[in-house]
Structures are given as structure tokens and as C-alpha cells.
């Protein structure tokens, strides 16, 4: 038997170019093995279909460093593991933790990029600071972090994001729902292109707060930098004070 025929038979493959399929009960021994079956950029459902109920095997896959090549697969695995766990799941700091999480709790000492991306339920607690794109495209659930870098809660549709310290640039960019609360300050262009939802900041906000926003509510207890509400089409912006060139319809808090 030719090698190609042998491989076809082993993986139930009927023609060239098709992804490898597993038989019922096949074991997934590594992230590379899983990627051979679903590709490096699979859907959540494709990963879920091949992951066994055996918690030991899932834990083994999660304990592997995915690098950049298998980051998405690893992210889905963390969510599936958290959803099956009756206790909070403590994970290492890597990209895409909690990708499309639907329920359960994940705890991180620190966080890298894309944590909680597209999550629709559950909770993620970051005891330290998070990287870029925290809660991007979030559709539900709750994220709490000590601090974060840029693009946090970008394109958020629903859910609740809490930053206990300072946030970086582009906070809440393009939001169409959800709530964001920052106990510290945020940098420039927070609420840029915001369409709905709320953004509350206890500290100060950088330049161009609410740039081109068309809806939603922004409240800053401290001072907003220059050009707050610039080219604003809707929604409301209120702050304890404003820099020069703020829009004429912003509200100064008493």
C-alpha cells in the first residue's frame, strides 16, 4: 500500500486537500496534532468538536506554550476548559485567553493581548495589568483588570469592563453597547466613533475624547484634554473640565 493510501485510510481521508479527520475516540496529543485537524485559524465549534471530556487531556494541552502559531486554538481551549470547570480556572499570561468565553471564571496574574476577545458571558479577572485589545468585540460577561494598554474594549457590544487603574489609548473605540468603568485615567481618543453604551472615568482623559462619536454617554470626573467631542454627531460628554477647542455642546460637571 502506498504511503498516501495508508494516511488516507488512517484519517478517513477521501481526497487530496481535505483536513485530517479523527475517528471517534481518537486522542489529541498536542496542539500541533489538533491544528493538523482544524487548521491554525479554526472556529470555536471546530475545536470543541474534537476536544474530549477528559479534563486531564485538556489540561495537558493548555499547559503547552502555543507560541503565535497555535495562539487561537489555545485561546479556544482555555474558554472550553473554564466552561467545564466548577471552580475558577487559573491560567498563565498568554494571548487570547478566554477567546469567545461563554461562562465560567478565568483568573490571570497578568495578561497579554486579546484577552476576553469576543466573549459573551462568564468572567475574567486580571490581577495585574493587561496588554492591548482587552475585551475586544466583547458581547457580554465581565472583565476586571488592574490596568490595560491600548484598544481596550474596542467594538464592544455588551458586557461590563472595569479597569481599576489606568487605561491606554483608544479605549472603547467604535463601541455600540456595554459599560466601561475606569478608576484611574485614560489616554487619548477614548470613545472614538462610539455609537452606544457608556464610558465612565474617575481620573483624567487624554485628547480627542469622544472623537466623531454618534451616540452613548461619556463621563469624566477629571479633566478632558483638548478637542473633546470634536466633530461629535450625537451622544453626550461631560467632564470636570475641558482643554481648548472642546465642542460647544459638552457639559462641564459641577
Residue 158: which of 172, 145, 170 has the closest Cα? 172
131 near 148, Cβ under 8 Å?
Answer: yes
What pLDDT is attached to residue 57?
82
75 near 114, Cβ under 8 Å?
Answer: yes
**Could you read off the pLDDT of 175-230 as tens digits, one per residue?**
999 999 999 999 999 999 999 999 999 999 999 999 999 999 999 999 999 999 99
Q: Write down the pTM of the prediction.
A: 0.88
> What is the Cα–Cα distance from 139 to 136, expressed in whole angstroms?
9
Beta strands in the chain (DSSP E): 89-91, 105-108, 123-130, 139-148, 158-163, 176-182, 196-201, 214-224, 234-242, 251-252
Q: Which residue has the cell 488592574?
A: 146
**Could you read off the pLDDT of 39-75 as tens digits, one per residue?**
989 999 999 998 877 788 888 899 999 999 999 999 9
Reduced to 3 states (helix: H, G, I; strand: E, B; else coil), residue 199 is strand
119 near 104, Cβ under 8 Å?
Answer: no
> What is the Cα–Cα distance from 138 to 152, expressed in whole angstroms?
10
Beta strand 214-224 with 234-242: parallel, antiparallel or unpaired? parallel
**Could you read off the pLDDT of 150-160 as tens digits, one per residue?**
999 999 999 99
pLDDT band at 112 (very low <50, low <70, confident <90, very high): very high
**Could you read off the pLDDT of 158-173 as tens digits, one per residue?**
999 999 999 999 999 9
pLDDT band at 26 (very low <50, low <70, confident <90, very high): low
242 near 223, Cβ under 8 Å?
Answer: yes
> What is the Cα–Cα distance from 125 to 144, expressed in whole angstroms?
5
Cα angle value 111/133/166 (rounded, 5°): 70
**Edge-to-edge strand list for the sheet holding 196-201:** 89-91, 105-108, 123-130, 139-148, 158-163, 176-182, 196-201, 214-224, 234-242, 251-252
Amino acid at each position: 500500500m502506498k504511503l498516501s493510501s495508508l494516511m488516507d485510510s488512517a484519517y478517513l481521508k477521501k481526497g487530496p486537500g481535505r483536513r485530517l479527520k479523527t475517528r471517534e475516540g481518537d486522542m489529541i496529543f498536542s496542539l500541533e496534532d489538533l491544528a493538523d485537524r482544524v487548521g491554525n485559524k479554526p472556529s470555536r465549534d471546530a475545536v470543541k468538536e474534537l476536544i474530549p471530556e477528559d479534563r486531564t487531556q485538556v489540561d495537558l494541552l493548555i499547559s503547552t506554550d502555543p507560541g503565535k502559531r497555535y495562539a487561537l486554538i489555545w485561546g479556544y481551549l482555555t474558554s472550553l476548559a473554564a466552561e467545564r470547570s466548577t471552580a475558577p480556572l487559573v491560567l498563565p499570561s498568554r494571548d487570547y485567553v478566554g477567546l469567545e468565553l461563554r461562562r465560567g471564571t478565568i483568573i490571570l496574574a497578568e495578561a497579554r493581548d486579546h484577552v476576553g476577545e469576543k466573549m459573551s458571558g462568564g468572567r475574567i479577572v486580571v490581577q495585574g495589568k493587561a496588554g492591548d485589545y482587552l475585551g475586544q468585540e466583547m458581547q457580554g460577561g465581565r472583565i476586571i483588570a488592574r490596568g490595560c494598554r491600548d484598544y481596550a474594549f474596542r467594538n464592544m457590544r455588551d458586557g461590563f469592563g472595569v479597569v481599576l487603574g489606568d487605561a491606554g489609548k483608544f479605549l472603547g473605540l467604535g463601541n455600540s453597547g456595554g459599560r466601561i468603568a475606569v478608576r484611574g485615567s485614560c489616554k487619548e481618543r477614548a470613545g472614538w466613533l462610539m455609537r452606544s453604551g457608556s464610558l465612565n472615568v474617575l481620573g483624567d482623559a487624554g485628547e480627542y475624547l469622544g472623537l466623531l462619536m454618534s451616540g452613548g454617554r461619556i463621563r469624566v470626573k477629571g479633566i478632558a484634554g483638548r478637542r473633546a467631542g470634536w466633530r461629535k454627531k450625537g451622544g453626550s460628554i461631560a467632564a470636570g473640565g475641558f482643554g481648548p477647542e472642546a465642542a460647544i455642546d459638552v457639559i462641564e460637571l459641577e
